[in-house]
Amino acid sequence: MANNTRKITVDDCRSDEIIIDDFTAIDALDICLGSGAVLTLKLANFGVGKNLEIAATLKDNAELLAIMADFSSGKSAVHVRVDLAGINARGTWKLSSLARGDDDKHFDVSFNHLSPNTSGLMDNYGVARDSSRLVFSGVNEIVKGAKNSKTRQSAKIIVFDEGAIAKADPQLRIGENKVEASHAAIVGKLSDEHLFYLMSRGLSLGEAKRLITYGYLKPIADYFADEKVKSQIARIVEERV
């Protein structure tokens, strides 16, 4: 772990919700959830891109819901590893990221199923514009003996401009037969049909792109009760698209 590490511990049968929107003094998160513990972790970056390491260990019946709204600018690398160490441990990761200008962003998210009946679900959504680079990667592994576990990865990126680079590379490593495992990766350009439809209704090209981007990335805002965060997402889409 990096030097500026924030440790988050939720004791057995406890629940907590943590919101982090300032990463200035944080390089890493070290998370430990006791048996039956529940943590909702909400991350929002509207400033400069940040390299960040997140490591989480979940014991029996623990549950982690991690949401990240990434509207930062610049270069960043986020590495996430969730160890589903206990029986019935459950982890969910949801990300929305906007890359524009010369942004260079890489998100590497992995779930390790180490015990039976564990669940790991991942959804990554992104928009790549201008000459930016956006990469989603990660490995979901179910080890031998982790029977009846479920793992799923989904990565989707819309590419707005020819100069933008986008890559989605979800991987599965399955060492047990009695499991459910799936992954999906979609990288595609902005639909000309959608643009034509909106522009035929009187919207300019810029307005149409903003509307599509906002509709694609807005669902992440629904996880934040804070109206300030929701308004920041809308404002940044308006300014940067």
Q: What is the pLDDT of residues 93-134, one digit of tens each?
A: 999 999 999 999 999 999 999 999 999 999 999 999 999 999
Q: Which domain holds residue 157?
A: 5-190
More confident position, 225 or 16:
16
Residue 230 forms part of a structural domain: no
Give the mean model confidence (pLDDT) for residues 72-92: 97
Q: What is the pLDDT of residues 178-188, one digit of tens each?
A: 999 999 888 88
> What distance, in Å, lies between the first and last C-alpha atoms of the chain?
35
> Are residues 42 and 17 in contact, defined by beta-carbon separation less than 8 angstroms?
yes
What does the pLDDT read at residue 151?
Answer: 97
Q: Count up the domains in the chain and report the number.
A: 1
- Tell me which amino acid residue 76 is: S
Residue 208 forms part of a structural domain: no
Residue 113 forms part of a structural domain: yes
> Are residues 102 and 131 in contact, defined by beta-carbon separation less than 8 angstroms?
yes
Residue 155 forms part of a structural domain: yes
Residue 196 forms part of a structural domain: no
* Mean per-residue pLDDT of the chain: 92
Residue 199 forms part of a structural domain: no
